[in-house]
Chains A and B, each alone.
Chain A
């Protein structure tokens, strides 16, 4: 055989093997197909009421056997849950660097030991987290099976079918432990993660569950008790008092305390949507303002909205740090911990850091409920960190992913997580002896007593759900910064933003 003939023969063999491989029966895809119904049906269920979704999924795992075997109708065997039923599966979890992520990482081995499921995880800083996640979901790459998420972001992902509803998994007794009690969750925690795809305030709390809440992020006032006592001040109970107290601190300290620069209030202000998170919305709604009306017309330029924003911004301008336009949430946390501020209205997750080792203010703090508005309304705008599942995750991997979510949102896990400052979304966990003892160490029990009241009476999800949530917040944050620099009156600036918001909603087709 000469060289050319040999090459020809070799090429022929390669082509033949490729052809054979291509024509081979689909032996490996078959099992995937049998499991497919769980996932292919999921997106279609997004608009269906939760209750109708459950039976479909409970049927799914049994489907392959039923079609083959003769009907065996008598008594169906009671479904059995087994933590190790997906042993050997591998899932990828994506985490944003938060107290909850710290908790997950330090307890992850428990899940691996319990289930035999291999978990790969990636943790990145919050800003990078959302970028990476958006790219993964929108490109359909499906790199992450399970990822941390919360209400605002879920709305966009849900509308684009990038995540799947969790109700079917939750309702399936073969993959959800019997002691995993749905009724144990705070109703607002689950409701804030439900949406029926109707843009605006009317669709919230209805429809499918898009993320399983694990970490409850709620707001309260934290203040320097030592400073207040020294200056003879009382804790503000209303937003008007909050502003007056801030001015009094500025006057009495002259912007200096213990020889260092000292500011009255620490609030978020960077050119980022973090500025319009829970603390801001809590104040806006307590004061009688809001973001959108039920018909999706912007409400940010309504008289009460303008009144609150003027009060809030004037107080920050006069008594806050000049660095306000650059302050992210971690700057607020860091600044207060280092003793630069007299009071902060922000999330309870910061408290373990405020009171932790190395903090300049540990042991000097007092706590109070969110300030009330002129009508006595008092809100803490809820945010929850939870877990969502990628809609590209299918079959046994999806069920293994759900086991991870079920584990992370179980009462036992939440008790461990709470010790990092990841406050629970379950009533029983908040009231458990371990968490009670942990929370009681802050402010000699004052933090727990106040947060109890916040959880019982003040928490509500307030922000209007829509896929354009973060888009409409962009010009809004910029307008607040413009006000800080004296570029116009609050009414003028909010009127302009309202027009921009309407245009954004029209461009996306949400408004006609």
Chain B
């Protein structure tokens, strides 16, 4: 940026001194953000490039193969099965997490004895890393030695051997470990709502359904959207729990896109085709997140 004298020109007077100097302050102030942006964009650009190559991490050479990885991906049954599992797990987990999280938030929003302890206990699953949750539940659900089968008298039931019960268990563990987060966000939302409209509705004799449907949910919508945004981004990348419990089996019934990508990279070493799948997942994640974020902005603006 240059700074020049702003005084009007005067032909009779000596020309004013012009000081040129660079103002580095804006550059310095934006440098961290610029570096962070480069740090994000560079690997992303590299990933896009690799998705058009036949790059194998145990090979010294590779070449650009155009859209071959994408064409094969779309014609590969394993990819579609993994994509179906990914979206099904995401939808089911979000549905249960939101419903249960809301119920728990409603319960914890009351002033009853012991509610503080319950809020603290609610945090416990959040503190357990997902992979540990997976291993813990795998042990609990073991067919012969697991306490769940023993307590519920289920005999020798092999939870992870039946495709549908394996899917159910994966969703269950995901819900178990993430519902507290949803509940906490919605609880903070409930506590921030103004009391006056609720009191007025009660004075006017409004029933619980009316209060829930016409007051609470619309006012809580920004919180619901923001928690959905966080959870969608996370649950579409579901990996740890599946890896720790089923490794994607039996057959391919619990294989998600991240599991498929993991196996391609670390077992088959085909980084090129794996990045094509990662980018596909990124597109889906981006579209859903963008839509949720724009809805959140509109909702937040309308409430203000």
Contacts and interface: CB of A to CB of B under 8 A. Distances in A.
Interface of A: 127, 130-131, 134, 138, 156-157, 159-162, 260-261, 270-273, 321-326, 328, 335, 338, 340, 467-468, 470-471, 473-474, 478, 481-482, 484-485, 487, 504, 507-508
A323 B163 CA distance: 12
Given A470-B267, A470-B269, 5 more contacts: A138-B57, A270-B247, A322-B158, A467-B59, A471-B267
Contacts of B161: 322-326
Contacts of B250: 271, 325-326, 481, 484-485
A263 B144 CA distance: 11
Interface string B209-252: 00000000000000000000000000000000001001111111
Contact of A470 (B160, B249, B255, B268): B268
Contacts of A487: 251
21 contacts: A134-B265, A156-B58, A161-B60, A261-B156, A270-B249, A271-B251, A272-B247, A321-B158, A322-B158, A323-B161, A325-B249, A326-B161, A326-B250, A338-B144, A338-B145, A467-B58, A478-B251, A481-B250, A485-B163, A504-B268, A508-B59
Q: Which of B144, B158, B243 has the largest count of A CB atoms less than 10 A from its CB?
A: B144
A468 B250 CA distance: 23
A346 B54 CA distance: 37
Interface in B138-162: 142-145, 156, 158, 160-161
A271 B58 contact: no
B270 interface: yes
B119 interface: no
B249 A481 contact: yes
B143 to A, nearest CB: 5
Given A157-B58, A324-B161, A507-B54, A471 B249 contact: no
A474 B267 contact: yes
B267 A273 contact: yes
A231 to B, nearest CB: 20
A160 B271 CA distance: 14
Q: Which of B156, B158, B243, B263 has the largest count of A CB atoms less than 10 A from its CB?
A: B156
B58 A138 contact: yes
Interface of B: 54, 56-60, 142-145, 156, 158, 160-161, 163, 243, 246-252, 255, 263, 265-270
A273 B249 CA distance: 13
B156 A326 contact: no
A332 B291 CA distance: 47
B160 A326 contact: yes
B57 A322 contact: no
A260 B144 contact: yes
A321 B143 contact: yes
A494 to B, nearest CB: 16
B247 A271 contact: yes
Contacts of B268: 468, 470-471, 474, 504
Given A160-B58, A471-B269, A508-B56, A323 B160 contact: yes
A265 to B, nearest CB: 15
A328 B60 CA distance: 32
Contacts of A325: 160-161, 249-251
Nearest to A270: B247
Contacts of B144: 260-261, 321, 335, 338, 340
A160 B59 contact: yes
A159 B58 CA distance: 7
Contacts of B267: 273, 470-471, 473-474
A271 B270 contact: no
Contacts of B59: 159-160, 467, 508
Contacts of B60: 159-161
Contacts of A328: 247
A224 to B, nearest CB: 16
A270 B161 CA distance: 10
A160 B58 CA distance: 5
Contacts of B160: 323, 325-326
A160 B156 contact: no
A131 B143 contact: no
A485 B156 CA distance: 18
Contacts of B243: 127
A482 B251 contact: yes
Nearest to A273: B267
A139 B163 CA distance: 37
A326 B166 CA distance: 10
Q: Which of B145, B160, B250, B255 has the largest count of A CB atoms less than 10 A from its CB?
A: B250
Nearest to A470: B267
Given A159-B59, A323-B160, A470-B267, A478 B143 contact: no
Contact of A131 (B142, B247, B252, B266): B266
A337 B145 CA distance: 12
Nearest to A467: B58
Contacts of B270: 471, 507
Contacts of A473: 267
A263 to B, nearest CB: 9
Contact of B143 (A127, A261, A484, A508): A261
Contacts of A470: 267-269
Contact of B57 (A160, A161, A272): A160
Contact of A326 (B54, B58, B246, B269): B246
B266 A326 contact: no
Nearest to B160: A326
Contact of A322 (B143, B246, B263, B269): B143
Nearest to B59: A160
A335 to B, nearest CB: 8
Contacts of A271: 246-252, 255
